[in-house]
């Protein structure tokens, strides 16, 4: 923004209203639900829908796409770009081709004409680094990738090269999940882009405790404890890193999670730049009711677990903000968000 204001001194900056963004995202998904129960979100403002078998009710995929775009405009005042195809990769690609308000149809008969001439970087999961590797091998378009020998792509990117080759040729067969369907849980985490830059350890500690409370509550909800804690940190220069460390024993307590996260942060960050984004994740999961050796003379963890379950009950009955740490009052602008409900909206992995 600083560079933008240097180029355009009269630039007017308007603060984003995240809550409104989230509300309209939910309203849009209610519209989708009128057409199918197979709705798989891909971030806050994108989703895949499988409308197979609804032709007799709503018409073709293109008809449904046009109906959804019209309803978004009439009911929510939003424009929408929709891709219609026989697989998720090409549907996503089509939704990006003619923004901001169009329906793009990619079929098994026309994809070579529509998709292959596009730059290879337009393909899902071809990021900046992968694109550079491809360009060094004279792979500039999706068609170049589709027609390249699989063995050479394996040598370049391993199994990932073969996967992207399949994407380029339309071989993607991943189904759209049913609404509410979830994959096997391998880790539980939350991250957030902070409302202002974090400039000291106290700022970081506040955010980590908010995130740790969410991670701990979700672990308890699903009946897990974690044995490893990971943090992700991104500075305002957009350079990021991740670190992880083992706990002394399995836990679903926010204090244990937050303390380990802070330990990892202090060990690995030198405050060369302010921080813009933080994440905390618990992994290496075990079931919460597994047999654990108890200390005959110290039941503090057991007492803390009972207290945590009580707080969960209060949150369920009276809302997320009914019981909070006193530290959360130190900076309400910084800590006044519910990461479990409001911030688990970053694009999920395409792979299950």
Active-site residue list? 46
The angle at the Cα of 204, spanning 22 to 207, to the nearest 5 degrees, equals 35
Write phi, then psi, for 209 (nearest 5 degrees). -70, -40
Q: Which of 211, 246, 214 shows the shortest CA–CA distance to 232?
A: 211
Residue 180 neighbours by CB under 8 Å, 6+ apart? none
Max CA separation in the chain (angstroms): 73
Contact at 8 Å (CB) between 343 and 19? Answer: no
Contact at 8 Å (CB) between 195 and 343? Answer: no
Q: Which of 260, 262, 280 shows the shortest CA–CA distance to 203?
A: 262
Q: How far apart are CA 122 and CA 139, in angstroms?
A: 13
At residue 12, the 3 state secondary structure works out as coil
SS3 content of the chain, % helix, strand, coil (to 5): 45, 20, 35
Q: How far apart are CA 131 and CA 141, in angstroms?
A: 10
Write phi, then psi, for 213 (nearest 5 degrees). -60, -40
Q: Which of 136, 46, 64 shows the shortest CA–CA distance to 103?
A: 64
Number of neighbouring beta carbons within 10 Å of residue 337:
21
**DSSP readout, 96-117?**
HHSTTS-EEEE-TTTHHHHTTT
At residue 134, the 3 state secondary structure works out as helix
At residue 125, the 3 state secondary structure works out as coil
């Amino acid at each position: 923004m600083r560079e933008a204001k240097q180029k355009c001194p009269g630039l007017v900056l308007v603060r984003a209203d995240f809550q409104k963004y989230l509300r309209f995202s939910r309203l849009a998904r209610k519209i989708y639900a009128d057409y199918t129960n197979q709705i798989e979100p891909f971030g806050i403002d994108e989703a895949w829908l499988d409308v197979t078998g609804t032709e007799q009710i709503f018409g073709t995929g293109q008809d449904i796409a046009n109906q959804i775009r019209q309803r978004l405009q009439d009911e929510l005042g939003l424009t929408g770009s929709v891709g219609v195809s026989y697989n998720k990769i090409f549907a996503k690609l089509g939704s990006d081709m003619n923004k901001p308000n169009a329906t793009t149809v990619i079929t098994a008969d026309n994809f070579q004409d529509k998709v292959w001439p596009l730059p290879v970087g337009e393909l899902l999961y071809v990021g900046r680094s992968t694109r550079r590797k491809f360009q060094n091998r004279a792979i500039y378009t999706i068609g170049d990738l589709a027609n390249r020998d699989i063995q050479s792509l394996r040598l370049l990117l391993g199994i990932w090269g073969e996967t992207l080759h399949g994407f380029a040729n339309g071989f993607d067969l991943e189904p759209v999940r049913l609404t509410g369907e979830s994959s096997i849980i391998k880790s539980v985490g939350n991250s957030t882009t902070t409302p202002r830059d974090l400039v000291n350890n106290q700022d970081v500690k506040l955010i980590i405790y908010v995130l740790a409370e969410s991670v701990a509550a979700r672990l308890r909800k699903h009946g897990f404890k974690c044995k490893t804690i990971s943090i992700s940190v991104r500075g305002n220069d957009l350079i990021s890193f991740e670190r992880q460390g083992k706990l002394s024993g399995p836990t679903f307590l926010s204090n244990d999670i937050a303390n380990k996260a802070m330990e990892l942060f202090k060990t690995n960050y030198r405050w060369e730049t302010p921080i813009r984004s933080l994440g905390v994740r618990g992994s290496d999961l075990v079931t919460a009711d597994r047999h654990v050796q108890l200390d005959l003379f110290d039941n503090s963890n057991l007492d803390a677990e009972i207290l945590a379950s009580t707080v969960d009950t209060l949150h369920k009955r009276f809302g997320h903000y009914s019981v909070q740490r006193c530290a959360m009052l130190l900076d309400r602008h910084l800590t006044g968000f519910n990461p479990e409900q409001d911030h688990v909206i970053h694009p999920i992995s395409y792979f299950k």
